[in-house]
Structure 1
Amino acid sequence: MSKLDPLLARWPLVALLASAAMLATAHVFQRLGYAPCVLCLKQREVYWAAGGVALAGLLLTRFLLKEARWRAALNLMLGLVFLVGVGVAAYHAGVEWKFWPGPAACAPGGAVTAEDMGALLSGEAVEMPACDEAAWVFLGLSMAGWNALASLALAVLSLAAARKEWSRR
């Protein structure tokens, strides 16, 4: 029995809580003055999707689909969602490192979020931050870089949980 077994046994719940924690962290950084760019907001969408998949899966596997194969499928879907998160975050980190250009909406003055609509309606000028400038760096990695690592860890754990459930069959 490995030390991860208790964690993997309740993986959809852990994935839901991890997604909520990642979203809360992003909002704390935003409150601290680190405005999100377009790609930052895309990274948040992955955690919203993972949280939705985890919650729906928890309910379905609890009340309707109780066999191990359904729990394995749920964990596999979570792994795939988190792998998308790795891709989005790594893409953003690459834009910050100038490895490749970001989308046109990432240029200063590009797309506007729903939060900015109130400011627009009041006549204030709203400008989104550029995606190619890391607003915060810790140990050489930007928020996007750390997010890529966190998403990778969540994906690996999701796939390990799927494998564990699959072996129960």
Structure 2
Amino acid sequence: MKQMTQRELAMLAGAGSAALLAAALTFQALGYAPCELCLLQRWPHVVAALSGLAIAVVGWRRSLVALGLLAALAAFGLASYHAGVELKLWAGPQHCSGGVSGLANMSTQDLVTALQAAPVVRCDQIAWSLFGISMAGWNAICSAMLAGIWAACLRRRNRVGGLA
């Protein structure tokens, strides 16, 4: 079996991020509204997918591979944080985890205004899971694997001698 080239590895990693974005949009189309942390997790995948696309167009570039790796690591970090919020391992952002600060000092009108402005989708609630792993958890797992592919692409290129 032929070993994948560095360019093919980078394109695979970029396509993986594009596939995760497509999956997120599909879930959203099916009625699973994203919370603020879900939306935030998408941006690193956009960067990684665009890095893979750029490599497909212009060829292997160390800077593009490094950008893809950093984006995948950022996606992993954000998804891990979100999964921890869902599992109640740590507190999430106050505004999307159901907390209302200063409740005792609020007037009735201020409370009504705060409740009306609150997001409908909470960051600390699991909307969907498979095998006991939430979407954020699966994103963390997939993002870690994609970061591994980006890293392998960078490492393998270093051994070949830094050809551009």
Q: For this pair of structures, how many residues does the alignment match?
A: 146
Structure 1 residues 76-130: Cα deviation after superposition (integer angstroms, max 9, x where no partner): 33122101111000000000011111113313599xxxxxxxxxxxxxx984300
CA distance in 2, matches of 1:138, 1:14: 24
Q: 1:9-88 counterparts in 2 under 5 A?
A: 9-61=7-59, 71-88=61-78
Counterpart CA distance in 1 for 2:126 and 2:10 is 32
Q: State the alpha-carbon separation in 2 of the partners of residues 75 and 5 from structure 1.
A: 18
Confirm whether residue 99 of structure 1 aligns to residue 93 of structure 2: no
CA contact (8 A) 2:44 2:72 kept: yes
How far apart, in 2, do the equivalents of 1:161 and 1:108 lie?
42
Cα distance change of structure 1 residues 167 and 52 upon mapping to structure 2, 3 Å threshold? same
Residue 29 of structure 1: how far off its partner (Å)? 0.8
- TM value normalised by structure 1: 0.75
Matched to 1:37, the amino acid is C
**C-alpha distance in 1 between matches for 2:4 and 2:120:** 42
One-letter code aligned to 2:30: L
Name the structure 1 match of 2:120: 128
The structure whose Rg is larger is 2
Gap runs ≥5 in structure 1? 62-69, 111-124
1:141 corresponds to which of 127, 130, 133: 133
Q: 2: CA distance between counterparts of 1:153 and 1:7? A: 18
1:151 is matched with: 143
Q: Is the 8 A contact 1:19 1:50 kept in 2?
A: yes
Q: Is the 8 A contact 1:93 1:142 kept in 2?
A: yes
Letter in 1 for 2:3: D
CA contact (8 A) 2:21 2:42 kept: yes
